[in-house]
Amino acid sequence: MIEINKQARIKDGLVILAGVLMVTGYAPFSFLPSSIFALFALLWLLQNIGARRAAWRGFLFGLGLFGAGTSWVVISIHEFGHTPLPLALFLTILLVAYLSLFPALFAWLVVRFRVAEQPLVFLFMTPALWAGTEWLRGTLFTGFPWLNIGYSQVDTWLVGYAPVIGVYGLGFLLMLSVTATLLILRRKQSAVVLLAIIWFGGWSLQSIEWATPAGKSLQVSLMQGNVSQLDKFRPEKRANTMSLYEELTLDNLDSDLIVWPETAVPAFYHQVAENYISDILQQTREQGVDLLIGAPVKQVTADSERPNYYNSAIALGKEFGVYHKRHLVPFGEVVPFGDLLRKIGGIFNVPLSDFSTGGLQAPLNLAGQKAAVSICYEIVFGEELAQTAGDATMLINISNDAWFGDSLAPPQHFSMARMRVKETARPLLRATNTGITAFVDHRGVVTHQAPSFSVQVLRGSIQPMQGKTPYVRFGNTPILWLIGMLILVGGFILRRRQQGV
């Protein structure tokens, strides 16, 4: 019995290591074999154990994956959120534990319903369960789809499927590749054919042009101010920040479009519109340059007791337009149950701690093109961006990744932004405060990238594109139907077998 317990503990440790190994499959490492091996190890370590033990191992896999992969949350909470380190660590552990519940649910379902007993059911139902639990994680309580396994495939052959079935579909296919490999090792050689079809199919799909050029290319300048997050909203630093962006802008008036990062203006838009912004606009309009700036917006409405605050991108030039951030960060930009908490002693009544959501909005008109704009974190929600990308000719993401410091988060975030390019076949302009600022063409190739943590103006050209990919047309609906069908059919087969029918 002691020997058995020792072996179980060793395997528990191995499954944690498998979760940590999975992190090296994502940017900035992007080592494909580690993604496959980590998932293979997880399924291997779920063999010959009970459902409770399986849930525990799934949870441990999640602790390794999210503990290593989202360790940067401590930086955001402690260094820039001014939270004491012990409390920041506690809150990060809570987040990691919550995220780990989803691989735990997956593992429990696989073992509880004895999915592995039927090879064909194991082959297809296992990836369906994984993709289904990932979708739940990306949806429940506003969702947190960070580190979905499909993102580890942004530079592999599998990414050819992204314009068809999106990142959840890629996750399904990656896990399907793992279950096929396991069956091959069990002498089910027919799975070799399926494995070949999956990967060569992805390679073939990459040759399809899902979009066509829309007008001529644009000359664009992306501003990276590298303003310290600790200094960003200090009143005594405001003038320096605003002078910096004014100077960078006026030095690049030969562009068609100039883009500033998220909250580049450290003040409400109405506070600077009549002097600072108007002075810049006078010169940009004379040169025919359009400008997109990041700034918070305050709106007062007659039917509301409190003003509405928005994290916004504002289009200035031939046409005026505003995009209000749609998907807010819980506890960072919006306080859940905030109205209730304000009634209890008035806490959380700080203006910039509780933004309002902008909802679904049309693309902005910029430099004669239509831009599907996203702000920071919301670009990780592909199904939401797809709702506007079809009517746009380019994607623009403005962000302030200074919140993450020099951690794994900025390259992870950028790889997710590139996945949106793959899904929509739209070029991407990405302007950030500290990096990663870049141009990405409609095929997902990074054509220009600025060094991080330095003041930069990244200049380049971008070709707007038009045409709708299947993912833009249908979003996650096809893959969700497939997942649901496979789970239902697999469950029906398993039940009949267990009843001896």
pLDDT given at position 81: 65
What is the domain-level CATH number for residue 255? 3.60.110.10
122 and 262 housed in the same domain: no
240 and 107 housed in the same domain: no
pLDDT given at position 299: 81
* DSSP-derived secondary structure for 21-79: HHHTTSTTT--HHHHHHHHHHHHHTTTT--HHHHHHHHHHHHHHHHHHHTTTHHHIIII
314 and 413 housed in the same domain: yes
pLDDT given at position 80: 64
Please give the helix or strand (H or E) that residue 374 lies within, else none.
strand 369-375
Q: Coil, helix or strand for 252?
A: coil
73 and 219 housed in the same domain: no
160 and 232 housed in the same domain: no
C-alpha to C-alpha distance for 474 and 166, rounded to whole angstroms: 10
Which runs of consecutive H residues, i.e. helices, occur in 390-476?
Answer: 409-424, 470-474
457 and 488 housed in the same domain: no
Domain that holds residue 283: 212-468
Pairing of strands 369-375, 394-399: parallel
What confidence tens digit (pLDDT) does each residue in 289-343 have? 999 999 999 887 766 677 888 899 999 988 899 999 997 777 666 655 555 544 5
Side chain identity, residue 38: A
Active centre residues (catalytic): 262, 325, 376
448 and 480 housed in the same domain: no
Whether 384 and 422 have beta carbons less than 8 Å apart is answered as no
C-alpha to C-alpha distance for 84 and 76, rounded to whole angstroms: 12
392 and 287 housed in the same domain: yes
C-alpha to C-alpha distance for 109 and 32, rounded to whole angstroms: 27
371 and 485 housed in the same domain: no
Instruction: Please state the pTM of the whole predicted model.
Output: 0.92
Whether 423 and 380 have beta carbons less than 8 Å apart is answered as no
36 and 142 housed in the same domain: yes
Task: Give the residues of the chain that fall short of pLDDT 50.
Answer: 1, 341-342, 344-352
170 and 241 housed in the same domain: no
pLDDT given at position 342: 45
Domains held by the chain: number? 2
What sign has the CA pseudo-torsion 491, 497, 499, 501? positive
pLDDT given at position 349: 42
pLDDT given at position 354: 73
Contacts of 499 (CB under 8 A, 6+ apart): none
194 and 326 housed in the same domain: no
Contacts of 47 (CB under 8 A, 6+ apart): 116
